[in-house]
Every structure is written in C-alpha cells, then in structure tokens.
C-alpha cells in the first residue's frame, strides 16, 4: 500500500548515498570540522549570498528548534508562534522544557500575521508576564502554504520596530522555495530573517538540518550550545557529506521541485473533481476536504493522515509527497480519485 | 598522515552501508516504528537474554547520557561519576544543563570504586545537599580499561543497598566486550545494571546508540522524553537498519575484536620497547607514556592526542584504533616505533 | 486616596505582629524545624482533619506554584489550567521556566470545567505532544468565584479516571472558605485534592503560604525541592509564627470573613444601582462593569484596576478588599457610588 | 541551653520590628514599588557611592545566588567557586538546577585565589567543556575569613583580563565590613565587583538580601527574572521597611560590630587558652580546634556545630555570634572554656 503519510518514509536520494559511499573510508576530522562540511557550507553561503553567515548541521528539526530558541532568548523571554506552529503542540513541549513559553497567535492558513504578532507584543506589557522576543514561523507552513516576500518583509519590519528576533523553520524549505507561489530565493530569506534552517531530512538526506545564523550577535560560541544539547555529532561529516551532495549541483532544488510536481498532479486532479481544500495547495502538503465515506475506501488503498474533522461528515486529510514519490504511485492515486469521486 | 586520534573518523562498515542502500527506497514508518528497528531490537534482546527490556536508538552519546540522567532522576538527585567520566568535563555541562549535579569521585584507572561511591553517599547527608541517586560508569572507560564481572557485581550490590540506579555508558562497549580482560557478555551487563547503551557510532555505524532499559520502573513513557529532547529521529529506520546490520551476524563483535587486535599489535610493540602505560592497555584506547622529544617526531607521521603531562619531559598520549583501522597503518606505526625507540 | 487595588497593600494583622514581637528574641532552630512551625502545622492538621498530611511554609505564591508543579511532574508532563489561571499569564512563565507546558482551557467564570479538562486530555494523544498530568485550579478564582463541593468532586472523579493530579492554589482560600457561596471546609478540600495551599500573604500575614501535601507519594524528600528552589527560609520560624497566630484562634477565618463582608457591602450597593458584574460577586474580588466616563471620576477618589474592556464604552474593573479594609473606606466608596451612579 | 549554632536563630532587631509596626497599616504599593523600598535603596546607594546601581530586595540567600548566576550566564557558561563556597555543596544543587556547572577550585582559608581561577580558565579550553564566565566569592567566607582590598583588586584584574563577571555573596557582609581585618567599605566593593548582595537575614532582619547590580549590562529587565523565579514578594515593602531601618542610622554596621565583638571575646579567651583555629578568627564565625573529649562536655551546655574532624581526637567546631548574641551568654561560654580548658 503506497504511503502519502509524510516526507520522511524513504532513506536518502541515491546521489546522497553515493557520496556517502565514496567518502566512507576517508579519515575525517570529527565534530563537523572536516572538509566535506566545509564545502557544504561554502555551497550554501554562495546561495545565501553572504560570506559572513555561520552554518551548523544539526541532526533533526525539533533539536534545531529547541537549540535556536533556548540559545537566543533570555530566561524570561518567549517566542511567538502560530497556533499551528510545529513548536506549539507537536514537539512534546521541547521549547518549554528549555524554559521558554510559546505564545500562540491565531494562524491564517498556517501563517503568522503582523496583526497577531502585534497583539501578542502589546498584551505582554510588564514584568509579571513573559516578554515576547522572537517570532517563529515555518516556510512552508504546517498547512502547506508558503510566505511571499512581501509578507516576510512586513514581518521583518515589525520585528525591527518591536525588537523581536525572526526565526524561520525551514524543515520543508525545499518544497517552499520551489513552490509556484514562492517569490523568494535563499538570499532573500537570509536578508530578512535572523536565523533559519534548510531541512535535509525531508528533502533528500538521511538526516540533518542546515542551520544558518545571519545576525552577528547570535553567532558567538554557538558550538558550545550545540554540544551541550547533545547535537554535535561525532561523525559530523555524515551530515556534511549529505549537504555537499544536496547543494553541489542544485540537487536540493530539483528534489523540492519533484515533490511539488507530484503534489500538483494530485491537487489538479482533486480540483477538477471539485474537491475543496483546507488551505491553498501550493507545496508538497495537500489538505483536501473529503467525505468520511470516501475516506473509508481511500484508506484501503493508500496511506494518509486525517488533519481535521470539518463537520457534516467531511474531513480534511493530508497527502504528502517528497523527492521519493514515484510518478506511478501518483498516477495510481489520481486514477483512484477520478474513478471514485466522479 | 594516518590518524589514531579517535574511533569516529570513518563512515560506516561496508555491510552497514550495504543494508542502508538495499532498503533505501522502501517506505518505512517514521520515528523508529519500522520493521528494521523492530528486527534490530529483537537481535539485541536475544543477546541481552531478556525479552522484557526496552530498546531505543538515540543519535549520539552525549544525548543519550543527558536523556538517561535527566529522565530518571528527580530534580534534587545527582549522579556519581569518576572524575575522568565523560559526563564530568567533556560534555559541556550537558548534565548540569538538565538540572543535575555530577558528583565526582576519584577514578582508579578510569573506573569508579565502591569506596568512592560510598564516600559520596555518606557525605551527602541532608536536604541542604543534593541526594546521590545514580552511579554512572563507562565500559570501556575513558582511560581504556574494562570492568570485570566481579567489580560490576560489587557496585551493583552497593547500589542495591544505597538505593542507587546503575547506568553504564557503553559508547565503547564493542571494544570492552571483546577485550581479553573482559569476562562479561551483554546478558551479564543487562543482569547487573538498570540501564545501559551499546555504542554504534564508535563501532561500525554512521551514528546511533542502542539504549537498553532493564529496570521496569524506568520504561514508562520514555518515548515522550526522547521526543522532548529532540532525539526522536523522523527517519528512525536509519538507526534501526544500521543496528540490524551490526547484530544480525555478530558483525558488532567482530568489529570490536578487530579494533582490539589492532590496538594489541601496537601495545605489544610498545611493551617490547619497554614503554610504560598510564593505564593497562586492554581495549582500543592505549595510553603509552613517551618522551616529548619523541612525540615531536611521532607527530610528523601520525595523528594522536596528548592525554596528560607526566612531568620529567614525559607525556601520556592516546592512540585509538577502530573497526576501520588498517593493518597497514598499524604496521607502519609499529615499524616507526621500533625504529625510533629501540 | 484609598486603594482597592489588591489584598496585599498592608503589613500583617496586629495579632500576627504581636506574636512575632513576643517570640522575637527566642532562639529558634532554623529552616522551619522550630516549635512555632510545629504548632502551626498541628493547628492546620486539626482543621484539615488528617494527621498524615505534610505541611511546608513557602514564602510566596508564585514560588509555591512553580515548586509544586515542577516537583510532581515528569519532564514531559504538563499542567492543565484555565486561561485565566494565575500560572498561565501572570507569573512571567515561571512554570515553563521549570520545563513544563501549561495547557490552557477556556474558563467558565474563572473556573476550570470537567469538559475542558477532558478535551485537553483527549487532544494530547501521543508522544509527539506533552502528556497532561495535573489540573491546577484556584479557589477563589482569579475572577473572584468559588468552587462548590460538587464541582470539586466532579473534577476529582475525572482526575481519578484520567490519572491526573489535582492541585488547588489557595492564595485566596481565606476569602473562598468564608464566602456565602462556599459549602466546603478545609477538611473537604483536603479530601478532594492531592496538594493545595492556604494563602497567608493575602489574609493577614507579612508573607507565607502553607502548602499541604495530601497524597502520600508526593511527600518524599520534598524539603530537598524547597531548598533547591531557594524557598527554604533560614528563619523559617518567621512564617511558622505567623501561621501559628492565624490558626490558633480561627483568626484566619475571621479575616476572610471581614474581607468578604467589606466586599459584600460594595457589591450590594452596586447591585442596587443596577450595575452588572463580569462574574458573580461572592468573595473579596469584585468585577463590576462600569462606564469609562464614570471610571474617570472614580479614579480621582479611589485606586482600583481595570480588568477588561467590554466594548460600548464599558469596562469591567476590579475592586479588592482584605482583612485590612476599613469600614470607613467602604462607606466612602459606597457613598461615592450612590451619589454618582444614581 | 544557649546556641552558638548560627546567626539566624532570632527574629529581627527591635528597631527593625518597630518600623514594621509603625508602618503596618499604611497602604503600600506592591512588588517593591513602595516608598520604603525607595528610601532603603537611596540609603544604600549613598553608602555604595553610586547613584546608578540597581538594587533589588530578595527574600533569601540561596535564591539570590541562583537568580544572579542563572540570569547573567549563557547556558554553556559556568561559575568558578571555592570548594568551600556555599553554592558548591550546601544549596542542594540550586545552581545546577538552573542549568549551570559550578567549577570548584581549592580554597585558601575559605577564599578563592587568582591562581585557582586562572587554572580553571585555562583548563576549560574548547567547546567540549563549559566556559568559565563568572567568579563567585563570599565575604566573609564560609570559613569566617574576609578579603582584603588588595585581594579583591587582584581578582578583579584577573576577571577583566579573562572576561569573567565577579559576584560577591554578602550574606555575612555586615560582619565582614566591620571585621578588624577588613579594609574596605561598601563603596570599595561596589567599585570592584559586578554584582553583590548585602545580607539582611543574618544581620538584623527577619529576612531579605539587598542585591546590588553595578555593571550596566546586567541591569536590563532584571525584575522579570526575579518574578520568574518566584522571588518578587507581593508585599515587597516588608523587605524595604527592614532595610530602611537597617540603613537609615547605620544600624546595619552596629549590628555587625556587635557580632564581631562577641566573637572576639570568645576567640581571645580561646587564644589565651592556647587553642588553635582552623582559619584565622576575624569575623562572627570562629573555628577553634578542640578535643572531642572536651566537646562532649561542651555540648552539655552550649549548642554549636562540628565543622571537620582533624584527626588525633581533635575536631574543628564552629561558633557563630550575631547581632542578637547576649554578653551574658558569651561570658558564660568564656567562663566555661576557662574553667575546663585551663
């Protein structure tokens, strides 16, 4: 049974594995101080368009989130996130476990809004409450949408005015940057946020997220913080080699594009069939609203997850595609949808 | 220049990589709930000789240490470790960062002693001090020695009497269990400690430690704790597959043996040359005491680390071998030693 | 200008100060192991109707809240509170600073409801989310309401079914227990919750909250936890003496009653004048809804705080009375209200 | 039986209580924003000789220590303390509970030395270890000694060179500043350290420590941190009034002097009797070395604590005097010593 459950079901893209194989018996320096890691950083710096960013490869997304937020906030400071933000519910309180409150604001199609941020800042007015000090957002969001350059610019302006750091969780940045709705490049993002990461786990790697620290003041002694949280891999080159493979020939973007193409085939079919979506389908996560009766049939043939009960016997479900999604499986799904929903 | 700096310079054993390749495009369930992980656990359970242990695969050693210690201690409880214990100095305060004091006791060739543990317990006598509640030890130790069954048994007895948990850090358990000084099997260890781990990173894997929870009361809800610390890999099968490869045909032990054999060739040569050691050379870490004059020459040809200035122009250095150490490099080193030290 | 801002504007009730004076030059054992503390505990145990509760005197409310919650929850466990609960917004993230998420549910007149608790429990369904493990409620609530015995009993039953601890914040328990809406005694509360505290700071003492641990499993080594959080007063007898004075002759209840009587005079006057309230006025906190025009006049004569903008030029404000509120000041306020609002 | 166990056995100096009584029924603003607190701060600022220090009154010493250290260090930074430092053993891991390692160095008569500090700084050389970032010292020390201006100056210079913050725990600063060995005033201390506190609990108050933040960068948003740790007293004026009483007429120094005078009477007697001391007797804590045989008799008449078994049937004990120690009790003790030890 083919799975559209998520984008971390398969291993690594063959080119990534190939480079791991090729360099396997080299003797590399530990803890990310090897030449592969260095090369991977150079490739990313070129795309980011800045030489003076700091880049660190972290094993996973939750770990990157907790590391960034706990490293850059003082104990009484809090992070603002959309209520749908990954750090709010789906990380087992990892942020709170580092001592920081997550202030939630209502999402708009999975995005934070300047109005929401401003409300949170104004509400927290004195020392009896936490002090909002960072905005967290995901691109693409947990509901599959992507930020426009103008949206991110407005959030940046607000952060400047209110003294907030801006942190972009890019666990699915590959899909975001190759979405048809996207009008940004890596260099635009690096120009607008203080810190962000480029997800490898969900876009071709076995594991690994490339954390990019843009803001100068945040760079100091960051390797101490990585080590203390248990995120400094002895074999750091295992991540370095993978990001080298992903960025030496634009593989990263090709993989994002493939995932989006696969998703678009599905969403086109659904649209033609008159199916509505919880949020606009623009990246590798789709949230069609379907009858529970039909879902009973669908789940006999394909794996997916249920996002939200919409009432009236309808549910929004989630289909996720990835670099590994096969055209054949998408065709099978589309055929099934057409046959059953027409 | 060949490196004897550490046992995490190369990638994974070819058989491990091979299984990763072979299963790469399978669709596996995320978060360690896949069939490879299940099989790896079954192999380990057989060796451990207990069906009812809980096994979790964690990306790295520091993370496993902080996860175990912070999960099983109440806030005011502390862990006792040798002053040479990895958690004391070389983890950037990772244990303290989770809120717990590390009580250090003098090491004896890198080992904790029952006398040392008892002193620590007696000294901490009331609620104005932390309460010792766990003993941490490494096998093999940070100084390359290994515990005997009798030693571990005596520590267990003391832990029982004083109500202490016993945690064994097995980052180098592969080398320990295949040491000529060792008289234990995995099942002995599982019979004597409450929780331990089997290091993959330093014995054939790209990354990963197999945490084995023996004591019933410690098992509950442990996956919540893994997730909260950012240690629950989305692609958990990446660790599962590797441990499957390491344990399906005893590869894990063969690799430990190889590392020890390589080390023994070096230590035999050194002994024949009349060189003394900081601690008895019995595993894959050797600590010969050499003149600084000679070390100047040595470092032109080989990479190693300096452990301790012994005075009188002598230093103890550290040579580390691994599954990947080549006989040719060992021969080159031995030839060099014989030529220069005769 | 007379202040109805809060119930911690004055020092201690004269009888409390008197006992402090009288015992001032005695030599007492430190850290709460003195005879006054012992006597105070005995008085409370009698009222609680249980000999086997553990009682500890803690300097302040926020400290008691963070101590209780962080001591009794495992790292991944969370506490459920009303969105109006003091621990949610008004303690500067003190609970999160100890590592725990506060799960908020909608309040009903400041109270938690069984429906709300159950929703929170059901929503948090797996290890990717925190695990609800405690219910926090305040009596009287932050909106001045009090729980009935039946309400507390239903919450207790739900906690039993769902394996949740029940913690009652009694910072204003003096006013709650002497409210006309109240149908509980201290012994009822001790029979229904696992841990609670009796607020001294807001009911006659200079400082101090009497924490009562009812559930056996929670008692162990609690003094270690108090000390570690910096809440074990060297001169513990300073709190002990005050609670001795408050409980040796029912002074604690008399003071609660006085505060409520003062509040009732104000609320009666307001009701007669047709003023509506945000929540039913039953304890020492009143939340009348008044026109902002009138509030401009009111604030020239009395101090109070604004709780909530109700729209239409109306705001709910807060009047607080206490053991120290003088009949004269209440009369002055009532006269002012009658003159201006008629 | 008269107690020389500690300096926190009695309540407050009568003049302190008197001012509490006098202002008891005033309506004061909460949370330390009242006029008494303001006046107390002004008195202290005058003595400190700086207008631009920030002063906060904190309930107790352990709380002040944990608040200062956790507020001013980044997560991977550690504090250096003498092995005899109060934060090392006697605060139940309160510092580690906030996430920070305490690096201990050997004490010299209870003091830290520049050599010890420098060793610790040099040893912690890379990101695999914590980074020393603060020096903690107590004046008077836990062994009753006091720092000279020159000693503190040398430590300051070293801290400047190595980028370390300097924090002085003044729980017993009253006795230190009035010691015959002392050559500093409050203004000297404020000129040499970054942050320090003036202990009220052990020198005339019911409770309270006056924290003085000298270094500009440390001041920002400190009230948030106090609140988050549960150390912001609702009735902050209770501490403010007491420090007002202690500093409006130099009472604080008179009380320190009295404690020292009482101690000196005892130490003179002991010296005349040929008794030796663990450390030079210069403040209100004395550590005479006496035979265990004699201690059996002594403990029938007076309370004291045993500090250290010296071997040969000798033990160092601790006598503590305070503002409340009566001349009669000192005379009784001296008579007893003379009668029994002659």
Q: In chain A, what residues touch B91 (CB-CB under 8 Å)?
A: 227-228, 230
Q: What is the pLDDT of residue A7?
A: 97
B/e letters for A162-194, b = 16+ CB within 10 Å, e = fewer, are bebbbbbbbbbbbbbbbbeebebebebbbbbbb
**Residue D26: band (very low, low, confident or very high) from pLDDT cuts 50, 70, 90:** very high
Q: In chain B, what residues touch A201 (CB-CB under 8 Å)?
A: 234-235
Question: What's chain C's average pLDDT?
Answer: 97
Residue C15 in tokens: 């009888």
pLDDT in tens, C211-268: 999 999 999 999 999 999 999 999 999 999 999 999 999 999 999 999 999 999 999 9
Q: Chain A contact for C257, CB < 8 A? A: no
Q: In chain A, what residues touch C96 (CB-CB under 8 Å)?
A: 78, 96, 99-101, 130
Q: H/E element holding A66?
A: helix A61-72
Q: What is the pLDDT of residue A342?
A: 85
Residue D154 in tokens: 């040398």
* Mutation choice for D interface testing from A30, A67, A75 by most D CBs within 10 A: A75
Provide mean pLDDT across the span B215-219.
98
Q: What is the pLDDT of residue D112?
A: 98
Q: How many other C-beta atoms lie within 10 A of the C-beta of residue B327?
A: 11
Nearest CA in chain B to D93: B130
CB-based contact B129 D90, cutoff 8 Å? yes
Find tokens 């942190």 and name the residue. Answer: A167
ipTM field: 0.97
Nearest CA in chain A to B326: A25
Peptide bond into C139 cis (omega under 30): no
Question: What's chain D's average pLDDT?
Answer: 97
Alpha-helix residue ranges (DSSP H) falling in B81-148: 86-89, 94-97, 114-123
Whether the predicted pLDDT of B342 surpasses 90: no
Q: Chain B contact for D69, CB < 8 A? A: no
Q: How far apart are CA C44 and CA C38, in angstroms?
A: 10
Greatest extent of chain A over all pairs of C-alpha atoms, in Å: 61
Provide mean pLDDT across the span B218-231.
98
Q: Which of C10, C228, C235 has its CB closest to that of D8?
A: C235
B126: helix, coil or strand?
A: coil
Q: In chain D, what residues touch B100 (CB-CB under 8 Å)?
A: 93, 96-97
pLDDT in tens, D103-123: 999 999 999 999 999 999 999
Q: What angle do CA A103, A107, A111 make, to 5 degrees?
A: 105
Q: How far apart are CA B85 and CA D332, in angstroms?
A: 52
Which domains does chain D show, CATH number per domain? 2-7+256-341 (3.90.1150.10), 14-251 (3.40.640.10)
Q: Which of D10, D21, D228 has its CB closest to that of C97?
A: D228
Q: How far apart are CA D342 and CA D273, in angstroms?
A: 6
pLDDT in tens, A65-108: 999 999 999 999 999 999 999 999 899 999 999 999 999 999 99
Q: Which of D74, D76, D224 has its CB closest to that of A76?
A: D224
Q: In chain B, what residues touch C30 (CB-CB under 8 Å)?
A: none
Q: Chains contacting B with at least 3 CB pairs below 8 Å?
A: A, C, D
CB-based contact C76 B228, cutoff 8 Å? yes
Q: How far apart are CA D189 and CA D153, in angstroms?
A: 9
Nearest CA in chain A to B2: A27
Q: In chain C, what residues touch B130 (CB-CB under 8 Å)?
A: 224, 228
How far B73 CA lies from chain C's nearest CA (Å)?
A: 10
**Exposed, middle or buried by CB within 10 Å (0-12, 13-18, 19+), for D337?**
buried
Find tokens 């926190």 and name the residue. Answer: D8
Q: H/E element holding D28?
A: none
Q: How far apart are CA D329 and CA B55, in angstroms?
A: 65
Q: Chain D contact for A218, CB < 8 A? A: no
Q: Chain C contact for B217, CB < 8 A? A: no
The sign of the dihedral angle between the CA atoms of A15, A20, A26, A29 is positive
Alpha-helix residue ranges (DSSP H) falling in C110-236: 114-123, 149-162, 173-177, 186-192, 222-228
Nearest CA in chain C to A89: C129
Q: What is the pLDDT of residue C100?
A: 98
Residue A279 in tokens: 């949020």
Q: What is the pLDDT of residue B232?
A: 97
Establish, for the pair of chains A and C, how many residue pairs have beta carbons separated by less than 8 Å: 56
Enumerate residues 5 to 64 of chain D having a beta carbon within 8 A of any beta carbon in chain C.
5-6, 8-12, 14, 17, 20-21, 23-30, 59-64
DSSP secondary structure code for residue D10 in this structure: S
Q: SS3 breakdown of chain C: % helix, strand, coil, rounded to 5? A: 45, 20, 35
Provide mean pLDDT across the span A175-186.
98
Nearest CA in chain D to B97: D99
Q: Chains contacting A with at least 3 CB pairs below 8 Å?
A: B, C, D
CB-based contact C94 D238, cutoff 8 Å? no
Closest CA to B145 of B279, B291, B317, B303: B279
Enumerate residues 70 to 99 of chain A having a beta carbon within 8 A of any beta carbon in chain D.
70-71, 74-76
Strand stretches in B76-204, DSSP E: 77-82, 102-105, 131-138, 165-169, 195-199
How far B232 CA lies from chain C's nearest CA (Å)?
A: 9
**Residue D204: band (very low, low, confident or very high) from pLDDT cuts 50, 70, 90:** very high
CB-based contact C60 D233, cutoff 8 Å? yes
Whether the predicted pLDDT of C342 surpasses 90: no
How far D94 CA lies from chain B's nearest CA (Å)?
A: 8
Provide mean pLDDT across the span D170-187.
98
pLDDT in tens, B150-184: 999 999 999 999 999 999 999 999 999 999 999 99
pLDDT in tens, B13-55: 999 999 999 999 999 999 999 999 999 999 999 999 999 999 9
Q: SS3 breakdown of chain A: % helix, strand, coil, rounded to 5? A: 45, 20, 40
Whether the predicted pLDDT of D342 surpasses 90: no
Strand stretches in C190-322, DSSP E: 195-199, 209-213, 276-277, 285-286, 288-291, 302-303, 305-311, 314-320
Q: Chain A contact for D218, CB < 8 A? A: no
Q: Chain B contact for A67, CB < 8 A? A: yes
Q: In chain C, what residues touch A102 (CB-CB under 8 Å)?
A: 101
Establish, for the pair of chains B and C, how many residue pairs have beta carbons separated by less than 8 Å: 46
Strand stretches in chain D, DSSP E: 2-3, 54-58, 77-82, 102-105, 131-138, 165-169, 195-199, 209-213, 276-277, 285-286, 288-291, 302-303, 305-311, 314-320
How far B70 CA lies from chain C's nearest CA (Å)?
A: 8
Under 8 Å between Cβ of D19 and D241 = yes
CB-based contact A131 D75, cutoff 8 Å? no
Find the helix packing angle between A35-48 and A237-248, rounded to 10°: 40
Q: Chain C contact for A130, CB < 8 A? A: yes
CB-based contact B128 D91, cutoff 8 Å? yes
Under 8 Å between Cβ of B109 and B280 = yes
Residue A312 in tokens: 């009236």
Residue B333 in tokens: 């080193």
Closest CA to D294 of D317, D311, D272, D278: D317
Side-chain-side CA neighbours of residue A63 (13 Å): 34
Closest CA to A210 of A94, A48, A8, A59: A59
Q: In chain B, what residues touch C130 (CB-CB under 8 Å)?
A: 224, 228
CB-based contact A127 D71, cutoff 8 Å? no
DSSP secondary structure code for residue C144 in this structure: S
CB-based contact C76 B131, cutoff 8 Å? no
| pLDDT over 90, % of chain A | 99
Under 8 Å between Cβ of A240 and A34 = yes
């Amino acid at each position: 049974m083919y799975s559209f459950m998520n984008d971390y079901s398969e291993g690594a893209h063959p080119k990534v594995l190939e480079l791991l194989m090729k360099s396997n018996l080299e003797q590399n320096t530990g803890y990310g101080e090897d030449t592969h890691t260095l090369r991977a950083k150079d490739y990313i710096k070129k795309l980011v368009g800045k030489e003076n960013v700091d880049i660190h490869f972290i094993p996973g997304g939750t770990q990157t989130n907790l590391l960034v937020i706990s490293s850059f906030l003082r104990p009484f400071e809090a992070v603002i996130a959309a209520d749908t933000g990954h750090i709010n519910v789906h990380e087992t309180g990892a942020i709170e476990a580092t001592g920081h409150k997550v202030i939630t604001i209502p999402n708009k199609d999975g995005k934070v809004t300047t109005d929401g941020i401003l409300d949170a800042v104004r509400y927290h007015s004195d020392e009896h409450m936490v002090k909002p000090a960072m905005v967290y957002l995901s691109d693409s969001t947990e509901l599959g949408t992507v930020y426009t350059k103008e949206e991110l610019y407005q959030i940046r302006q607000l952060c400047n005015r209110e003294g907030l750091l801006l942190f972009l969780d890019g666990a699915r940045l590959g899909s975001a940057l190759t979405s048809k709705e996207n009008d940004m490049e890596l260099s635009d993002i690096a120009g607008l946020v203080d810190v962000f990461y480029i997800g490898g786990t969900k876009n071709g790697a076995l594991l690994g997220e490339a954390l990019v620290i843009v803001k100068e003041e945040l760079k100091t002694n960051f390797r101490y913080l990585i080590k203390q949280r248990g995120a400094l891999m002895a074999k750091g080159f295992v991540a370095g080699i993978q990001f080298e493979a992903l960025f030496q020939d634009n593989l990263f973007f090709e993989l994002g594009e493939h995932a989006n193409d696969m998703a678009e085939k599905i969403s086109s079919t659904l649209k033609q069939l008159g199916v509505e979506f919880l949020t606009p389908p623009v990246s590798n996560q789709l949230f069609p609203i379907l009858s529970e009766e039909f879902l009973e049939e669908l789940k006999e043939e394909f794996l997916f997850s249920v996002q939200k009960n919409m009432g009236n016997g309808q549910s929004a479900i989630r289909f996720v595609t990835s670099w590994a999604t096969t055209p054949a499986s998408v065709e099978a799904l589309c055929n099934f949808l057409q046959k059953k929903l027409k």
